[in-house]
Structure 1
């Protein structure tokens, strides 16, 4: 198809610029693409930026230039979308502040390597639409698994706050990413003079009303007999959370919230590390919590030791302060909750942000389900674990709801908490399960089985709220099959692209 129009002229003009300026513009284009992520949510800008990138990718001369293009674009994208990564280093500026710029630049540049490989792979496979979607889709999928995984800010996440979210129940986050990449390709081809491409873009736009019509009314199905859950949000700033003169006030605030109200809920949930004592020495503290709750079961976050190993723990407390169940976080944050080669780095004064010891926290045994009696079975998650769909699929059996406690005070007050919340919504939509999400500084929320927020406590406010627990939906396609279908689709795209490229070369 012959390409015409202003878009092609723009790309040719960019390609004619000196290499330095091309790199700057590529980084800036990636930064624009990141504006589709929460809290800005300007997803059309993501599609436009991807369209420009596809135009440049399709004209890249060889896999090396394609790789540099992907790295520059990815660097700009991750610099903006992951800007919150500096926040944990500012909690203790004297100790960790110097690391903040290196952390942001290192993380953005490191993750951009995935995009460099993706663009190079797509270029080797022919450089067309299938190569672009297959290469970038495959490497974004790999980003969620390689080196313990970090699937934050995937391109598909820009669609979480749209009616298309329900599509994740079939194809997961990778399916949403494929749709965003396809929209970018179709937009470029339409701007380049393809009428059929414009028809394709109209077809993609129709997914909005179709998605809205197909999304079940999970919230409305909660009914008057639904269990009531109390969300407790103490709003303890991270730089004050462990101060001896502040800890008691934050603890008393949560006790007061647990005792408030004339009607008792069926469950009370405190956030991650909400109890400022170790589980092994917390007997009297847990009794105080249980007394304030009036015997209602309480889920709390705290830490515990086991034979000199430290765990980040969720505990279910029943009447009298009895510990009925314990879940230890198993998917830890590298360089945050533990340090790779921690003993060696600890000698140089480099420690995990959430721990004073070089080794940091220990990993729990894995995903599990907790029986909460009349409320049903809960799949517990702690903080970072909520961004990994594979951690939910690893559970031994299906839960009735997801129970996530977190301390988003580490993420600051702008993009981090909202992006974390968006991924929680994605998990609910993928698995057809409601989620109880309780965060120290917010946003605490009840999320229904389609990913919609039914009620929430705003970021940066202390308070409590009794909310109805929505029902689960039927087991989703994604819950059954995981990422395997999209992995196959991306590989098929690359194979078709490579086959077409070889045929074209033979007929030249």
Structure 2
């Protein structure tokens, strides 16, 4: 008895629905801390195989995409539950519902992509692979930019340590994700053809399998240096390890504040960096004269210091900021966070009730400029960014097209993700920072409250690191860089519009090439 009729018949929903959810979960599992590019490729290929070989119609394809997308999103950022429930005080059922609702809302993009791919497939492998890559690029761009953007867990991050990382200085994380999607689609379509009895597809399937295996399991290839070495700086990075439930505690605050200020003053390197809200109070809320005394001592010591703290006042508004202090006579530097976190740093319209249900201080900040001047340390332009901001490579790249003297030589991220406890948010954020260094070929300093506090070189390699969730001081060295990667050059000038135009152009071409109602009617049946 042949099994082939079962392989080519529509696969039952009882099989495909849990399989799609599993594929989405495996895409999340492929991210840090495991960093498994091969698993990401296979997981997406599995979803596409459920649609292609499983003979799913448009509606079922959308449903499978929704399930897979929900598993992918929820598996990528489940730790939002910790911030909302453990530290925000939101009831556990509401916190779970909020995470799942966000995951399902973002998964609608995956559902749309799978439905469109199914509806407008041509039956020609090359065309259908390009069609899927264009759709995948479009939905990842949409997730990264619409409604302020939340691209955490984008598929390209799984390839930070894979062979496809060589493409990052050219096309960035979204381009890497689109290429990965194309490889997954090629493999899925060739395997589907073989399951359907196409013996002439053995060679194509073998090539697709070898390509997928190489992209997924061969060691990372970094490619050429587009940037040139510059001045070296010695650096000190602080990791206070203050639990979020103690950060604003009146009994715990004096000890943590004292440790940060003493450690900053005791450092003897070119640059000292303390995390986001290392000083969790406005300067006027500190004990009388403490901020002025601290700035005078920094000036007398000859140090350059970057320290995270809120600035402003409750009447005119406040910002999540980094203050830069230097030797006596150096102007005080200020960087205000531009890309704010919804609900944590600003309240989206209509959601005040949701924020009021939590107990998070300083929940509505003012926004800083997109392009801010750098902080100068011994002639090196150091560009700060705060926490979530290094998730948006296109916004960091915007700083690379100004006056040559203002182009950053070193990036410095200050973060506090104690909000998410001992979760995978820490290694995931490190993976994100490493992708930025690959795209821009600039080293990244990361001074964080609970980790990962590290020095990353311009090729994405961690050169110095502290163990997470421990108080410590990291002393190391960083080499500044000059010059631009292709990615920095085109994204810095145009943003992500070329990627959007490519994706939309491919989609328009596919729609125009479609035979119209006959093909769609065939897909529905």
TM-score tier (shorter) = 0.7 to 0.9
Residues 1:47 and 1:298: Cα distance change in structure 2 (over 3 Å): same
CA distance in 2, matches of 1:183, 1:311: 44
Choose which of 48, 52, 58 in structure 1 pairs with 2:46: 52
Q: Judging changes above 3 Å, is the alpha-carbon distance between structure 1 residues 175 and 249 closer, same or farther for their aligned structure 2 residues? A: same
**Residue among 24, 28, 34 paired with 1:34:** 28
Q: Relative to 1, partners in 2 of residues 1:431 and 1:222: Cα closer, same or farther, differing over 3 Å? A: closer
Equivalent runs, 1:385-396 vs 2, <5 Å: 385-395=389-399
Q: Deviations over 1:113-156 (max 9, x none)?
A: 11112112223332633332221221111111111111110111
**Relative to 1, partners in 2 of residues 1:82 and 1:255: Cα closer, same or farther, differing over 3 Å?**
same
> Counterpart of 1:502 in 2: which secondary structure?
coil
In structure 2, stretches of 5+ residues that fail to align are: 123-127, 195-200
What is the aligned partner in structure 2 of residue 232 from structure 1? Answer: 238
1:298 alignment partner, SS class: strand
Alpha carbons 1:430, 1:479 under 8 Å: kept: yes
- Classify 1:373/1:34 alpha carbon distance in 2 versus 1 (closer, same or farther; 3 Å): closer
Kept in 1, the 8 Å contact 2:32–2:158? The answer is yes
**8 A Cα contact 1:330 1:364, kept in partner:** yes
The alpha carbon displacement at 1:201 in A equals 4.0
* Aligned-pair CA distance for 1:334: 0.7
Give the Å deviation of 1:321: 10
- Output one character per residue of 1:243-276: Cα deviation in whole Å (capped at 9) or x when no partner: 1111111122223433446xx2001000000113
Counterpart of 2:41 in 1: which secondary structure?
helix
Q: Using the alignment, how far apart are the partners of 1:327 and 1:281 within structure 2?
A: 20
Instruction: Give the match's secondary structure for 2:132.
Output: helix
Picking from 410, 427, 444, the partner of 2:436 is: 427
Mapped contact 1:122–1:134 kept (Cα < 8 A): no
Within 5 Å, which residues of 2 pair with 1:192-203? 192=192, 193=194, 194=201, 195-203=203-211
The residue number in structure 2 matching 1:334 is 342
Quote how far apart the aligned CAs of 1:327 are. 1.2
2:433 aligned with 1:438: no
Coordinate RMSD, CA, aligned = 3.1
Q: What's 1:246 paired with?
A: 252
Residue of structure 1 in register with 2:153 after alignment: 153
Given the superposition, is the C-alpha separation of residues 147 and 464 from structure 1 closer, same or farther in structure 2, using an over 3 Å criterion?
same
C-alpha spacing 1:349/1:199, structure 2 compared with 1 (3 Å):
closer
Decide whether aligned partners of structure 1 residues 210 and 24 sit closer, same or farther in structure 2, where only a CA change above 3 A counts. Answer: closer
Q: Which of 402, 405, 422 does residue 414 from structure 2 map onto?
A: 405
- Give the structure-1-normalised TM-score: 0.87
> Any conservation in 2 of the 1:183–1:201 contact (CA below 8 Å)?
no
| Distance in 2 between residues matched to 1:25 and 1:301, nearest whole Å | 45
Q: Report the TM-score, using the length of structure 2 for normalisation.
A: 0.84
1:129 partner SS: helix
Alignment of 1:124 onto 2:119: yes
- 8 Å contact 2:434–2:461 — kept in the other structure? yes
Question: Partner residue of 1:75?
Answer: 70
Q: Which residue of 1 aligns with 2:60?
A: 65
CA contact (8 A) 2:222 2:459 kept: no
